[in-house]
Structure 1
Amino acid sequence: MEATITITVDGEKRTATVDTRVTLLDLLREHVRVAAPKKGCDHGQCGSCTVLLDGRRVTTCLAFAVQHDGAEIVTAAGLSTQDTPHPMQRAFLDRDGFQCGYCTPGQVCSAVGMLAELEAGWPSHVTPDVGSAPERTPAEIRERMSGNLCRCGAYVNIVAAIEQGAAR
């Protein structure tokens, strides 16, 4: 069975007719040719496919495309303008928050989404008092980013980049 889906990706409306079993990641990469989200594990374990979906971070390999007809998606490429990188992208460059770069688009989108969660006051597993607003600490950042793996092991620099990006 097929369905026609319209999504807005990085500010541009895109339409595709796909099998109803197609994931959002495959819709983005194979049908509308958006390269920023990467296919890593295809099981929701690595975070390479993370994007902002209607403002929230989502691993697109676990979402069916038909569930998100009409959605607004922002990829790492859509965070910046043509002339100016997003503060989180700038921080990843400044702090050397990547090595091979494969996970970086997912890391950047997850970091932006994670900071929005912190700002909204959502507690995490390591939040000491779930009744009060969580603070942006290295422990909070590491816990909230634990769904994004870096095979190169650039975690120390990723945390530093997120701290810098959040400060901007």
Structure 2
Amino acid sequence: MACRGSDPHVSASSISIRVNDAQHTVCCDPKTPLLYVLRNDLALNGPKFGCGLGECGACAVLIDGRAVRSCVVPVTAVQSRSVVTLEGLGDSASLHPVQQAFIEENAAQCGYCLNGMIITVAALALREPNADDDQIRRALEHSLCRCGTHHEILAAARRALMLSRTANSPEGPDEELASSEADQGEANA
């Protein structure tokens, strides 16, 4: 189905995508990067424009649970898939464990890279909830941060994985978190 886009020289199509558990129909060139649709058409500003080459991670979103650089994915590639942005992870009343961990560890300065870091750790928590520091570092190695909060980001990722695990723990979140923090305190002593 054709629709009328803003540029008369570009062929626009009506494209249906699922973002943050809601179905949306947008009118755009089928080759338009997902990032532009998210920011310009859906007003979802969590994903940032960084490099435009898929290298910095600022534009990361979850596509079917995997962290993907939205600046290099054409919008038509996600028509039958589930897209989750930073806004879809949680909200102010109920933060996602990764968002909570980044706040608790003060793992942000300018915040520009934060979207990519949080989305990458959320994807890691889904596929590898018991990831060790090396796995965390490998997952984050292509997410650029120039502010120097790398130590805090690693601590936030550790805490996020723990919070994600304990959310489903039969012991409940408080007991496992307290036990883990006590173990870490002993290791640092």
Task: Give the shorter-chain TM-score range.
Answer: 0.7 to 0.9
1:99 and 2:99 correspond: no
1:69 and 2:64 correspond: no
Q: Corresponding residue for 1:142?
A: 137
Among 160, 163, 167, the residue aligned to 2:162: 167
Which TM-score applies when normalising by structure 2?
0.76
Separation in 1, partners of 2:140, 2:77: 25
Q: How does 1:37-76 map to 2 (within 5 A)?
A: 37-76=47-86
Q: Corresponding residue for 1:23?
A: 33
**Higher helix residue share:** 2
1:154 shift after superposition: 1.2
- CA-to-aligned-CA distance 1:30-79 (integer Å, 9 cap, x gap): 12221111111111111011011122111001101112113221111111
Q: Corresponding residue for 1:35?
A: 45
1:114 and 2:109 correspond: no
- CA-to-aligned-CA distance 1:102-134 (integer Å, 9 cap, x gap): 111121111010222325xxxxxxxxxxxxxxx
- CA-to-aligned-CA distance 1:116-158 (integer Å, 9 cap, x gap): 2325xxxxxxxxxxxxxxx622121111111111121211111
Q: Corresponding residue for 1:129?
A: none
Root-mean-square deviation (CA, aligned residues, Å) is 1.4
- The residue matched to 1:73 in structure 2 has which SS? strand
Q: Corresponding residue for 1:127?
A: none
Gap runs ≥5 in structure 2? 1-10, 164-189
Q: Structure with the greater relative contact order (CA < 8 A, sep ≥ 6): 1 or 2?
A: 1
1:27 shift after superposition: 1.1
Larger gyration radius, structure 1 or structure 2: 2
Instruction: Report the residue type matching 1:6 in the other structure.
Output: S
- The residue matched to 2:27 in structure 1 has which SS? strand
Dislocated runs of 4+, deviation >3 Å: none
Instruction: Report the residue type matching 2:157 in the other structure.
Output: I
- CA-to-aligned-CA distance 1:88-111 (integer Å, 9 cap, x gap): 101000101111111111211110
Q: Is the 8 A contact 1:5 1:70 kept in 2?
A: no
Q: Give the number of equivalent residue pairs.
A: 153
- The residue matched to 1:6 in structure 2 has which SS? strand
Percent identity for Structure 1 against Structure 2: 32
Which TM-score applies when normalising by structure 1?
0.85
Instruction: Report the residue type matching 2:135 in the other structure.
Output: E
